[in-house]
C-alpha cells in the first residue's frame, strides 16, 4: 500500500531545518504484515528529542529512514501468528521490541532485549523484517521498529501494547516513550521512596515526566535544572519547589547550599556530559543518580573515584524507563486517568505531518515540550 510518511534523507544538515529540509514528507510503499507483525493505522505521534538526536547526528542511524518512535494508533490488520491483538484494538508503540526469549527478557528486563537492540541498530523490525520502500523500490529503514511519522506502520507484535480505548489517542501517544521513560526512571530504575528529595536535570518531556512521578510520590523537595528559563517555568507549574539555571557558573554550589548538601535522587534527562556532571555533583552522600539521556557514542564523563566510594553514591543507567511495557504502560495510564500523573499538560502543540521540519526547529530551540502529530 502507498501512504504518506516523513523520511529522513540526511543527517547533520544546517539549521534551520525548515530551510534545509532533512525530512521529506512523501509517498512511501508499505508491505503487508508478515509473521508476527501488525498493521497499525496511526492516529497520533509525539515529536521527541531522540528523533532530533538522529537528525543532528548525536544518535547515528541509517538513512533513508521513516522517522518516529512515540505513537498510538488502531490495529488495521494482523499477520499470521499474532495472538495478543486483533483489528480495532487501540495500541501504543514501544521503541524496544522484546523477543521474550533472550537472557534479559527472561530475567524480566525487556528494555535490554538483545535481538530488539540488534534490529533497532540496523533499521529493521524484530526478526529482520523490512517493509518500507520508495522511489520505485529503494529500501527505506525503520526507526527502532516503529516509524510512526506515517499514516500507517507495520510493526512486530512485540512492539505494541494494547491500551484502554477510552483514552484519547493523542494523549496515549505520550505513554509510548516520554511517560514510560521519565516515570519509569523514578519508579523502576531508582525505586525512589515516598517523601524523598529529588532533582531533575533537563526539563524536556522526559525530565518533566520524572518530575511528575516524584511529585506523585510526595517528594518533599523537587529541584529542576535546565539551560532554558521557559522550561523551568513549566517545571514550577508542574510542582518543582526550586529551579536553577544550568548556565549559571555557580549552579552546583547554589543547589548544594539550598538543599544542605544535595538531593537523594537525581535524574539526568538532557543527554549531555554537562548535565551528567551537574547531576553527579548535586547528588548527596549516599544518593543515586539515574541517567536517561542519550549522548553521542563518542562522549564520556568522569567522576572523582574517591568521592564515589567515600560518599557511597550510585550511578545508574535507565533505558525505556527500565519498564516491562505490557505491565507498566497500562499501569501509568491508570495513574493518569485517576489524576495522579497529569501528563497531558506536557502537550504544547498539535501539528500536521507536513510541519515536521518546523517542529524540529521548535524542539531544537526549546520552544515546545511535546508536539503531537495528528493523522
**Strand, helix or coil for residue 250:** coil
Average pLDDT for residues 131-160, to the nearest whole number? 98
Tell me what pLDDT residue 304 has.
94
Q: Nine-digit cell at 50?
A: 531522540
How does residue 338 score in pLDDT terms, banded at 50, 70 and 90?
Answer: very high
The answer to whether the beta carbons of residues 224 and 200 sit under 8 Å apart is yes
Q: Are strands 263-268 and 65-66 parallel, antiparallel or unpaired?
A: unpaired
pLDDT band at 138 (very low <50, low <70, confident <90, very high): very high
pLDDT at 187: 98
pLDDT tens column, 278-333: 999 999 999 999 999 999 999 999 999 999 999 999 999 999 999 999 999 999 99
Contact 372, 350 (CB under 8 A): yes
> Which structural domains are found in the chain, ordered by start?
2-176+342-374 (3.90.180.10), 182-319 (3.40.50.720)
- Average pLDDT on 164-171 reads 98
In the DSSP assignment, the letter for residue 185 is I
DSSP state of 150: B
Average pLDDT score, the chain: 97
Q: Which helix (H) or strand (E) holds 197?
A: strand 197-201
Under 8 Å CB-to-CB from 40, ≥6 apart: which residues?
73, 74, 75, 76, 91, 93, 152, 153, 154, 155, 160
Per-residue model confidence as pLDDT tens digits over 13-70: 999 999 999 999 999 999 999 999 999 999 999 999 999 999 999 999 999 999 999 9
Q: Which 3-state string (H, E, C) describes 3-48?
A: EEEEEECCCCCCCCHHHHCCEEEEEEEECCCCCCEEEEEEEEEEEC
Amino acid at each position: 500500500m502507498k501512504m504518506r510518511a516523513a523520511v529522513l534523507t540526511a543527517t547533520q544538515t544546517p539549521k534551520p531545518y525548515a530551510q534545509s529540509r532533512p525530512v521529506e514528507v512523501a509517498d512511501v510503499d508499505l508491505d503487508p504484515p508478515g509473521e508476527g507483525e501488525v498493521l497499525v493505522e496511526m492516529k497520533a505521534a509525539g515529536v521527541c528529542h531522540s528523533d532530533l538526536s538522529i537528525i543532528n547526528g548525536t544518535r547515528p542511524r541509517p538513512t533513508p529512514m521513516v522517522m518516529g518512535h512515540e505513537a498510538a494508533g488502531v490495529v488495521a490488520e494482523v499477520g499470521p501468528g499474532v495472538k495478543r491483538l486483533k483489528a480495532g484494538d487501540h495500541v501504543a508503540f514501544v521503541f524496544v521490541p522484546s523477543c521474550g526469549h533472550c537472557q534479559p527478557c527472561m530475567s524480566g528486563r525487556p528494555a535490554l532485549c538483545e535481538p530488539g537492540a540488534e534490529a533497532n541498530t540496523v533499521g529493521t523490525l524484530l526478526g529482520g523484517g523490512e517493509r518500507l520502500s520508495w522511489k520505485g523500490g529503494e529500501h527505506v529503514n525503520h526507526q527502532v521498529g516503529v516509524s510512526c511519522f506515517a499514516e500507517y506502520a507495520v510493526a512486530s507484535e512485540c512492539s505494541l501494547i494494547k491500551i484502554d480505548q477510552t483514552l484519547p489517542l493523542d494523549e496515549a501517544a505520550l505513554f509510548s516513550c516520554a511517560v514510560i521513560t521519565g516515570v519509569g526512571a523514578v519508579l523502576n530504575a531508582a525505586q525512589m521512596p515516598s517523601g524523598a528529595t529529588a532533582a531533575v536535570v533537563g526539563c524536556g518531556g522526559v525530565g518533566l515526566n520524572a518530575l511528575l512521578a516524584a511529585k506523585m510520590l510526595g517528594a518533599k523537595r523537587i529541584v529542576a535544572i535546565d539551560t532554558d528559563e521557559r522550561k523551568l517555568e513549566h517545571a514550577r507549574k508542574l510542582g518543582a519547589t526550586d529551579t536553577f539555571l544550568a548556565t549559571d557558573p555557580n549552579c552546583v554550589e547554589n543547589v548544594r547550599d539550598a538543599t544542605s548538601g544535595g538531593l537523594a535522587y537525581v535524574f539526568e534527562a538532557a543527554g549531555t556530559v554537562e548535565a551528567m556532571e551537574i547531576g553527579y555533583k548535586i547528588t548527596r552522600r549516599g544518593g543515586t543518580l539515574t541517567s536517561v539521556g542519550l549522548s553521542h557514542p563518542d562522549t564520556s564523563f568522569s567522576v572523582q573515584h574517591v568521592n564515589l566510594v567515600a560518599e557511597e553514591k550510585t550511578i545508574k543507567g535507565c533505558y525505556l524507563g527500565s519498564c516491562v511495557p505490557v505491565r507498566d504502560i497500562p499501569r501509568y495510564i491508570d495513574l493518569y486517568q485517576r489524576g495522579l500523573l497529569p501528563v497531558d499538560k506536557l502537550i504544547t502543540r498539535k501539528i500536521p505531518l507536513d510541519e515536521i521540519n518546523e517542529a524540529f526547529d521548535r524542539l531544537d530551540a526549546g520552544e515546545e515540550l511535546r508536539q503531537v502529530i495528528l493523522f
